[in-house]
């Protein structure tokens, strides 16, 4: 249980609006506001933000011949900064974990990282009545002093994380021209204001990905919003038009759409999960609709808008992509990539995606949704480092298998993990408490930030090979960035410290990893000393 007296009495005392300035080996670092820590049971800490104080993180420009390290840990570190000098690489005879980096060997280009602005998320944000508090949440996600999300997913209509069932044209029915297509109050009063606030706070462009959960009930075989159902074939063109009208209406509101998915979790519409507001498809039906209705209409309007297939769990790729291709071979040219969800990934190796897309190098893959809940207790778990670990491991795994983006689910939820129609409460990186006038940054928030903050759009994954290690392999992923720097994210999931050497040419960054920690390391991509005659 959270001790309320800490919020009331100890909050201002523990902070005093202090800026911590660190000197590490002669280098002064930019001052950041530190985490207002709150210990929760036996978990890790959460960071408390109110209207006048919220922790920040500033990316340091690496100096030549130096490297920067940012560390978060189960023990409570949150983007702790450290800087030191790059050394000449020394080939040791004893075991020493070394990650050998090769920037000339490049893989996928990164689109970005982000989360979803659902009705629930936007309503929770709106419930924070103090405008400064609301802005602190926006800055935490999208500002330069935050984790700098550059992608936001927005539902096309309602979802399970909505206050009610609704679409953009519930009436009149059987109107294939969608003459009454209208954005909902949830868009105009909640989602759009939150999206625009993020766009304003960000110095980079924010890409918006739209996803449909279900169409107007009159288009469905059962005429119901939920339950097992399919789209009536006579409304194939109308549903494509529905997507186009959404794109146009959001553009009128000043929010361009970067891409759309072809239906959220279509498998749920024909399984036990169909009690939610969903839409089911047959394999042929979905492929036929994409190729002959959706893609032509969207691409004629704007060829740059991305169309992402699947938008379902990893194990469904052979169904919604490969099996669909056998029915409609043109599918591989009609879409730009595929979106995959995080759920059940521990049961399905990422290599299945590699194999399925092997013959389609023109297509990219991204993670379009992720969230965590307990099978026995579907509620928020404040301070859970275990949940942060699950995200970290999955993001590293996905990026090492050519994913170009990773998008979380609700950017903020209430203390119950809602509101949600289905009562299937979930956790979130940010939990809001309007009554107390605060919000809490979970370990999940910092887990996301170790990637989103330091791997900007346009970065390219590079080869990183582990050598000279006598222990367990260490999870890591490496990139070259548009700023001509190298960024390496390293995760130590062991309950003891570990030294890792990052080797680039003849130089090395020697990094001490705290126990149960994630570290992001950055240095310039011009450190190779050609005069060095030491061994490679």
Q: List residues with catalytic annotation.
A: 265, 369
Residue bearing tokens 């974990």: 97
Contacts 24+ apart (CB under 8 A), 316-324: 316/267, 317/352, 317/353, 317/356, 317/357, 318/352, 318/356, 319/267, 319/283, 320/266, 320/267, 320/283, 320/286, 321/356, 321/357, 322/356, 323/283, 324/283, 324/284, 324/286, 324/287
Cα–Cα distance for residue pair 94/96, rounded to 1 Å: 6
Q: List the structure tokens of 34.
A: 């530190």
Question: Mind spelling out the 3-state secondary structure of 346-388?
Answer: HHCCCHHHHHHCCCCCCCEEEEEECCCCCCCCCCCCCCCHHHH
Beta strand ranges found along 195-275 (DSSP E): 207-211, 259-261
Length in residues, the chain: 536
Cα–Cα distance for residue pair 220/280, rounded to 1 Å: 9
Nearest to 139 by CA among 381, 430, 352, 451: 430
To the nearest 10°, the Cα dihedral for 159, 165, 168, 173? 130
Triad 116, 40, 148: Cα angle to 5°: 30
> CA of 152: how far to CAs of 132, 211, 366, 401, 453, in Å?
22, 11, 13, 22, 15
DSSP-assigned states of every residue in 150-202: -EEEEESS--SSSSS---S--SSTT-TT-TT----HHIIIIIHHHHHHHHHH-
State CA 327 to chain mean position distance. Answer: 32
CB atoms within 10 A of CB 485: 20
Cβ–Cβ under 8 Å, residues 516 and 504: no
State CA 212 to chain mean position distance. Answer: 18
Residue bearing tokens 């109110």: 50
> CA of 459: how far to CAs of 59, 116, 294, 350, 404, in Å?
16, 22, 31, 21, 10
172-189 burial: b if 16+ Cβ within 10 Å, else e: eeeeeebeebebbebbee
Cα–Cα distance for residue pair 298/303, rounded to 1 Å: 7
What sign for the dihedral angle of Cα 73, 74, 78, 80? negative
Cα–Cα distance for residue pair 247/528, rounded to 1 Å: 48
Cβ–Cβ under 8 Å, residues 431 and 66: no
């Amino acid at each position: 249980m959270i001790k309320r007296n800490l919020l009331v009495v100890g909050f201002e005392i523990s902070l005093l609006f202090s800026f911590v300035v660190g000197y590490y080996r002669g280098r002064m670092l930019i001052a950041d506001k530190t985490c207002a820590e709150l210990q929760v049971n036996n978990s890790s800490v959460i960071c408390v933000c109110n209207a006048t104080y919220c922790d920040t993180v500033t990316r340091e420009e690496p100096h030549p011949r130096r490297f920067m390290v940012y560390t978060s840990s189960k023990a409570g570190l949150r983007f702790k900064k450290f800087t030191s000098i790059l050394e000449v690489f020394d080939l040791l005879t004893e075991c020493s974990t070394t990650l050998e980096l090769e920037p000339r060997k490049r893989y996928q280009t990164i689109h970005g990282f982000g989360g979803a602005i659902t009705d629930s998320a936007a309503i929770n944000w709106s419930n924070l009545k103090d405008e400064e508090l609301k802005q602190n949440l926006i800055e935490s996600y999208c500002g330069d002093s935050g984790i700098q999300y550059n992608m936001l997913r927005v539902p096309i209509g309602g979802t399970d994380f909505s206050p009610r069932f609704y679409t953009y044209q519930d009436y009149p029915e059987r109107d294939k021209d969608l003459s009454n297509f209208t954005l909902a109050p949830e868009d105009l009063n909640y989602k759009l204001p939150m999206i625009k606030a993020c766009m304003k706070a960000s110095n980079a462009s924010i890409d918006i990905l739209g996803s449909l959960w279900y169409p107007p009930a009159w288009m469905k075989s059962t005429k119901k919003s939920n339950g097992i159902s399919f789209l009536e074939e006579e409304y194939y063109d109308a549903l494509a038009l529905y997507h186009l009208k959404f794109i146009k209406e959001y553009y009128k509101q000043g929010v361009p759409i970067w891409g759309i998915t072809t239906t959220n979790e279509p498998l749920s519409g024909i399984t036990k999960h169909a009690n939610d507001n969903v839409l089911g498809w047959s394999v042929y039906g979905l492929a036929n609709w994409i190729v002959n209705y959706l893609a032509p209409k969207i691409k004629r309007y704007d060829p740059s808008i991305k169309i992402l297939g699947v938008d379902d769990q990893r194990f469904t790729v052979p169904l919604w992509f490969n099996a669909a291709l056998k029915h409609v071979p043109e599918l591989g040219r009609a879409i730009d990539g595929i979106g995959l969800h995080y759920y059940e990934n521990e049961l399905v190796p990422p290599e299945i995606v590699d194999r399925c897309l092997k013959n389609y190098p023109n297509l990219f893959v991204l993670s379009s949704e992720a969230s965590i809940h307990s099978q026995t207790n579907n509620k928020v778990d404040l301070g859970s480092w275990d949940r942060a670990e699950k995200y970290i491991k999955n993001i590293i795994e996905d990026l090492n298998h050519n994913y170009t983006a990773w998008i979380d689910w609700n950017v903020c939820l209430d203390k119950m993990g809602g509101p949600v129609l289905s009562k299937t409460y979930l956790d979130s990186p940010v939990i809001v408490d309007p009554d107390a006038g605060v919000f809490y940054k979970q370990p999940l928030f910092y887990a996301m930030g170790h990637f989103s903050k330091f791997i900007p759009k346009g970065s390219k994954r590079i080869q990183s090979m582990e050598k000279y290690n006598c222990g367990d392999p260490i999870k890591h992923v490496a990139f070259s960035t548009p700023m001509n720097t190298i960024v390496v994210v390293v995760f130590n999931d062991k309950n003891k410290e570990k030294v890792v050497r990052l080797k680039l040419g003849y130089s090395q960054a020697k990094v001490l990893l705290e126990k149960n920690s994630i570290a992001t390391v950055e240095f310039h991509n011009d450190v190779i000393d050609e005069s060095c005659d030491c061994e490679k």
